[in-house]
Amino acid sequence: MIWLTWRQFRVQALVAAAALAVIAAYLVYLGTDIRDAHDAYRARCAGRAADCPAALAQFRSDYENTLLFLAAGLQLIPVVIGTFWGAPLIARELETGTHRLVWNQSVTRRRWLAVKLAFVALAGAVLTGSAAALLTWAARPFDEATEDRFSTVVFGARDIAPIGYAVLAFALGTVVGLLARRTLPAMAVTGVAFVVLQFTFPNLVRPHLLPPERTTLPMTAQAINGAQNIGSITGGAVVHGLTIPGAPGAWVSDISPFRTADGRTLGGAEFDACLDGPPRTGAGGRFGDTAVCLGRLNLHVDIAYQPKGRYWAFQGLETAVYLALGGLLAGFGLWRIRHRVG
Do 133 and 204 belong to one domain?
yes
Tell me whether residue 332 is in a domain.
no
315 located within any domain? no
pLDDT band, very low/low/confident/very high, at 32 (cuts 50, 70, 90): very high
| Residues 128-147, mean pLDDT to the nearest whole number | 93
Q: Is the dihedral of CA 190, 194, 195, 196 positive or negative?
A: positive
Q: Is the pLDDT of residue 53 over 90?
A: no
Total domains, the chain: 2
- Do 226 and 204 sit in the same domain of this protein? no
Rounded Cα distance, 286 and 284, in Å: 7
Residue 126 pLDDT class (50, 70, 90 cuts)? very high
pLDDT, mean over the chain = 87
Same domain, 257 and 120: no
User: Do residue 199 and residue 79 come from a single domain?
Assistant: yes
* pLDDT recorded at residue 43: 80
- The confidence score (pLDDT) of residue 267 equals 86
Mean pLDDT of 170-184: 92
For the chain, give the longest Cα–Cα distance: 86
Burial readout 201-216 (b: 16 or more C-beta within 10 A, e: otherwise): bbeeebeebeebeebe
Mean pLDDT of 248-260: 89
Same domain, 248 and 159: no
Do residues 82 and 179 share a domain?
yes
Q: Give the pLDDT band of residue 104 (cuts 50, 70, 90).
A: low
148 and 23 both lie in a single domain: yes
* Residue 231 in domain: yes
- Whether 151 and 276 share a structural domain: no
Give the model's pLDDT for residue 323. Answer: 97
Q: Which pLDDT belongs to residue 155?
A: 94
Residue 294: domain span: 213-309
Q: Answer whether residue 65 shows pLDDT above 80.
A: yes
The mean pLDDT of 115-143, rounded to a whole number, is 93
* Within-domain flag for 336: no
Give the pLDDT of residue 228.
84
* Whether residue 288 sits in one domain with residue 166: no
Q: How confident is the model at residue 277, as a pLDDT?
A: 83
Of 179, 208, 237, the last residue of a domain is: 208
Residue at which a domain ends, from 208, 233, 258: 208
From 208, 238, 265, the end of a domain falls on 208
Residue 186 has pLDDT above 90, yes or no: yes
Same-domain check for residues 118 and 193: yes
Q: Across residues 217-246, what is the average pLDDT?
A: 84
Whether 178 and 104 map to the same domain: the answer is yes
Q: How many other CB atoms are found less than 10 A from the CB of residue 49?
A: 9
Please compute the mean of the pLDDT values over residues 7-18 and round it to a whole number.
Answer: 80
In a domain, 334, yes or no: no
The verdict on residue 135 lying in a domain is yes
Q: Are residues 191 and 276 in the same domain?
A: no
Tell me if 282 is assigned to some domain.
Answer: yes
Tell me: pLDDT of 4 over 70.
Answer: no
pLDDT in tens, 79-103: 999 999 999 988 887 777 665 555 5
Summarised one tens digit per residue, pLDDT across range 279-338 is 888 777 788 888 888 888 899 999 999 999 999 999 999 999 999 999 999 999 988 887
Tell me, yes or no, whether 324 lies in a domain.
Answer: no
Q: Which residue has the higher pLDDT, 185 or 50?
A: 185
**pLDDT band, very low/low/confident/very high, at 18 (cuts 50, 70, 90):** very high
